[in-house]
Each structure stands twice: as structure tokens, then as C-alpha cells.
Amino acid sequence: MRYLQASSKLRQLGPSLLSAILFWMAFFPVNWPWLGWLAFVPWLVGIAGQSSKQRLYSSLIFGLCFYGLALNWMRVADIRMVATWAMLAVWAGLFTVILGWVVGKIYDRHPKGGMVLAFPMVIVPIEWMRAYALEGFPWYFLGHTQHDTLPLLQLAELGGAYLITLLVALVNGIFADLWLGEKPECLLSFPLHRKAMGVGLAVTGALWFGYSRLGPTEFNEGTEIAVLQADHPQGIRNSAGAEQVRVEYQEMIRTLFQSHLRPLVLVWPETSYPALVDITDLDNSKWLPEKEKPNGPSQLLGASTIVEPKGEPSKQFNSAVLFDPKGIPIDHYDKIHRVPFGEYVPLKDWIPFINVLAPYDHDYSIAPGERLTRFSLPYSPIPLVFGAAICYESGDSHHFRSLAGGDGKPPVDFFINQSNDGWFHGTEEHEQHLLLLRFRAVETRRPVIRAVNMGISAWVDAYGRVLRPKEISGSPNEKTARIFTITTEELPTGEWGKFKQNTVVLVGPVPKRVNGIPMGWARLQGSWPGFFALGCVALIVFGGKQKARD
């Protein structure tokens, strides 16, 4: 009897565990994107024959297993982050529970529609809600598995990563329906055959659109930017003296100048400048450029900043501060989208013991920024404007769309992303973080330049290509920093890892933006999944009678 019970539970949990492992393998460190097209099939087949209670259980196992594996890199940041890792895995796993329950309800009420209707209809709004609920967690979307399939990646221009999720979910759904066919002749029945043809046409149309939109990488000549990438684990950044960090960055800059490269701007990673920068009066000042460009570059610092208004409490920010070659501040951007526990402790006034999940014992909270800054590239021969995104704002598609004109203001020409990934010690987090920016580049048709402590710093063109750096032969002081220039070739994902946990300086011109769809339509990139959510409600409320299950 016990053997039969164990066998029954294994049959119930086996498909969920298999799907979780297949889905995890579609991402880094394995990075087999083809698994994304079938990873959900075992789970969908399993829940098709289950009761509502069994579906909740199977979906919870799927969610906990997948996110436990996928977020494994969080635990290396700090021993106290193990609890945060577990909490986020449970939080994200709850969305999988909702996914399984709603998919099952629609499948029961509309069995003729099959999984090819139910699964895509539900997973798109579920990912959308996960991206915005509380502070949001827009990582590990089904569509993200196709980041390295450039023709499909171009769909993000029309509907963001959600549209790619929809396409991949359609294929998972039709495979599940084919598997669920009980008789061989069912595979050739007209309704199922028609569905399969429809999915095939959708994939073909997506590939046609992608190939038609792809073009070569082109640069804006004379707009060279240099990115500084140190290799400082967070523990060293916390314990090392400010002077030591300053000396290492100054040595990197000295090595760059010895190579005779002369960029317009030096970009530092997030919070890498080893001093607190006072920006109290910066918003009230006006910078006037000199008629002739001074010797030396401007600098975009990643810095902790402070504002101390008279008669009011001081505030600290995580900022990008642009200085001209003489050290005069031009403008700044203060990070808006803060990371829970990383940059503030949520609900600490309501739940005192929640501080045990924080990586520091002291109050390290920063205030959120209030405006999207549009920086002018100083002394550029071509007038260019860029927007900044700090750290995990790389996952906030709304942030990028707004700067690209979605907020009704003049659009930027490119983006700079500053980040500190020194917490994660060379794990797959570095690659996962970079792949998000491939989607942001295509969604806005604007290139992204990254400066990341411990890597992976990169140039991403408007088609989502990560461009290959080429090392300068005979670079001076190679033991201190290796110098690379950016080429128009694509860097394969298998070589991304070579540029993490290294001290390097990347130098290259700004890639050209590409004319995309009108921003009036592009604003729908972030809202159309909401209509799918309404569709799910309608299918459940106004659908047919639910089938009885044992």
C-alpha cells in the first residue's frame, strides 16, 4: 500500500519536477534556449488530469523547485541572504500556483480550446503581475529563454518580452495538446490540426518579422565612451579603505591614457566612487560648456550622494553624477527603483525582526529618486542625449520606455547602465543580468552601454547584439587593467563569462539608434498583458460548465 501511495505521489510530482528542471536549464548557467519551447509540457499534461487541490500542490512544487534552482546565486552574497533567497523563491513560486490554478480552470471550462488556449492566455498576465507586484521581479520570463535567438528577440519591439512569452507558450500549449490526444487519429483531427497549423504560422510570421528588422551595427563616429570595470567583491568594497579603491581606479584610468585612446566620457560602475558626493545645490545650478573642449574626458560617476537642505533631514541616494573635465558637476540621476533588502528594508517599522534578512547591521536605506534625467553627452561632435539606469532598473521596461519618449518628453539616443554585481562572485547572475538589457535595447531600439563592477560590462546595440570587445595588443600595464575596443561583431553567449571577474577597460563609440515603432504604440508594450488578464476572468466567469473530476 505504501509503495502504491509513493508511486502515485511520484506520478503527480514527477511532471512538475521535470518541467522545473527543464525550464531552469533554458537559462544560465546551462543556457539551452530550445528547452523553453517544451519545458512546460510535462507540467501542463500533468495538471490537465488533476483536481484543483492537486493542481495547487503540483504548481507549488514546480515553482519552489524552479526558483530555488534559478535564484541559487542569491545565497552567495551574504549568509543572511539565504533567508532572502528562500523568501523570494516562495514569493515567485506563488505566481506559479496562481498560474496552475487559472490554467486548470480555463482548461476545464473550455476543453476544446485545450492548453494552447489556456496556457498562453494566463502566463502572459502572470508574468506582467510578477513584474510589478510590490517592487516587482521581472526576471526569468518564459520569453527570456529566447534572448539569444535574434530574429525572435526583435518581437520585443512590438510587445516587449511578453510577446515572446506568448509565442513560446503557444508552442508549449500545442505540444501538450498533442500529448493529451488519447487516440492516434486525434492527432490528425481537424480542430487540433488547425491549431497546430496556426501555431506554426505564428512562429513563421515571427521569424519573418525578425529577419526583416535585423540590420548591421553602425556607430556614431567620434563619440567614444570608456567603461571602467573593477573586480571588487562586495566584501572587499566594504572593508577596503576609500583610498585603496581610489588608487585602483586611478591606475585603470592611467593605463587607459597610456594607450592613447581619448574617450569623451569615463563611466564608473554603480557606487564605485569611494566618497560621498554632496549634490545639495546641483539642481539649482546651470552648467555652461566651454567653447573648446578641455583636455581629458568628462566622468559619469556611480556614487552614493547626499542632499542636505536647510531645515530638513538629509537624504542619501544611489546616483549617477556627470562631471565635466574640470570636475564641475553637470547633472545627476538618482535611482528610483530601489532593491528590497539591498537598498532598504521594507516594513521595518511594522515588522522589527525583518531586519535579520538585511545584509548589514546598520541603517543603509537610500531615498528613491524623483525624476528621469536626460544627460547631454559633453563635447560630442554629434548632439546625443542619454538616460541612466542603475543596477536592477535594467529589468524595468517602463523606465526605459519612458526615457525613449514614452513619458511625452524628448527621447534619449542611448542608455548607460551602471551596476555593482560584486555581490555574486562570478555566478550565473552576471549573465542573467546582462541578457535583460538585450530586451530593453530592442524594445526601445536604442543601444545600451554597461559599466559593472566584476562584470559583465558590455555594449548592446539596438538589435540586441552584445558586441565583441577586441583587446589592444601590447596594452600597457596589463597586470593592472586590460584595454579592449568595441567591434561590430557579436560576442557569443559562450564567451560572456570571459569578461566577468576581470579588471578591464572597454572603449567604443555609441552605436546608432534604429527607427522603431511610434512611441504611442510602444506604450502598449507594458499594458497589453492587462487585457489578457481581463480575458482570463471572462473565460472563467462566462465560460462553459466545469467538468467534474474524481
Cα–Cα separations (whole angstroms), residue 484 to 4, 9, 159, 257, 459: 62, 55, 35, 13, 12
Instruction: Report the pLDDT value the prediction gives residue 132, as an integer from 0 to 100.
Output: 87
Answer yes or no: do 244 and 271 share one domain.
Answer: yes
pLDDT: is 470 or 275 the higher one?
A: 470
Instruction: Report the pLDDT value the prediction gives residue 183, as an integer from 0 to 100.
Output: 42
pLDDT band per the 50, 70, 90 thresholds, residue 342:
low
Answer yes or no: do 259 and 148 share one domain.
Answer: no
Instruction: Report the pLDDT value the prediction gives residue 136, as an integer from 0 to 100.
Output: 83
pLDDT > 70 in the chain, percent: 82
Instruction: Report the pLDDT value the prediction gives residue 188, as an integer from 0 to 100.
Output: 39
Query: Among 388-402, 407-421, 533-547, where is mean pLDDT lowest?
Result: 533-547
- Residue 159 pLDDT exceeds 50: yes
Please report whether residue 537 resides in a domain: yes
Answer yes or no: do 96 and 167 share one domain.
Answer: yes
Please report whether residue 4 resides in a domain: no
CATH number at residue 349: 3.60.110.10
pLDDT: is 94 or 272 the higher one?
A: 94
Answer yes or no: do 181 and 304 share one domain.
Answer: no
Q: Return the amino acid letter for 404.
A: A
Instruction: Give the mean pLDDT of the chain.
Output: 84
Contact 355, 322 (CB under 8 A): no
Rounded to whole angstroms, how far apart are CA atoms 192 and 422? Answer: 50
pLDDT band per the 50, 70, 90 thresholds, residue 1:
very low
pLDDT band per the 50, 70, 90 thresholds, residue 364:
low
Q: What is the mean pLDDT of residues 49-66?
A: 93
224-241: pLDDT as tens digits: 999 999 888 776 665 656
248-301: pLDDT as tens digits: 888 888 888 888 888 999 999 998 888 888 878 776 666 656 656 666 789 999
All three cell numbers of 423: 555581490
Angle CA(81)–CA(22)–CA(10) in degrees, nearest 5?
90
- Residue 223 pLDDT exceeds 90: yes
Answer yes or no: do 398 and 353 share one domain.
Answer: yes
4-53: pLDDT as tens digits: 455 556 667 889 999 999 999 999 999 999 999 999 999 999 999 888 89
In total, how many domains does the chain have? 2
Provide the pairing of β-strand 374-376 with 329-334.
unpaired
Q: What is the mean pLDDT of residues 93-120?
A: 90
Query: Among 192-201, 248-257, 361-370, 473-482, where is mean pLDDT lowest?
Result: 473-482
Rounded to whole angstroms, how far apart are CA atoms 116 and 196? Answer: 9
Q: What is the mean pLDDT of residues 298-305?
A: 90
Residue 59 structural domain: 14-214+526-541
- Residue 417 pLDDT exceeds 80: yes
Instruction: Report the pLDDT value the prediction gives residue 185, as an integer from 0 to 100.
Output: 42
Q: Encode 18-45: b = buried (16+ Cβ within 10 Å), e = exposed.
A: bbbbbbbbbbbeebebebbbbbbbbbbb
Answer yes or no: do 335 and 449 share one domain.
Answer: yes
Please report whether residue 3 resides in a domain: no
Answer yes or no: do 341 and 273 share one domain.
Answer: yes
Answer yes or no: do 425 and 310 share one domain.
Answer: yes
Answer yes or no: do 479 and 337 share one domain.
Answer: yes
DSSP annotation of 329 reads E
Instruction: Report the pLDDT value the prediction gives residue 352, as an integer from 0 to 100.
Output: 54
Cis peptide before 456 (omega within 30 of 0): yes
pLDDT band per the 50, 70, 90 thresholds, residue 182:
very low
* Backbone angle region of 493, left / alpha / beta, with phi > 0 → left and psi within -120 to 50 → alpha: alpha
Answer yes or no: do 210 and 225 share one domain.
Answer: no
Answer yes or no: do 50 and 139 share one domain.
Answer: yes
- Residue 307 pLDDT exceeds 60: yes
pLDDT band per the 50, 70, 90 thresholds, residue 348:
low
pLDDT: is 192 or 507 the higher one?
A: 507
All three cell numbers of 508: 567604443
pLDDT: is 308 or 381 the higher one?
A: 381
Answer yes or no: do 190 and 276 share one domain.
Answer: no
Q: Return the amino acid letter for 485.
A: T
315-333: pLDDT as tens digits: 888 899 999 888 888 899 9
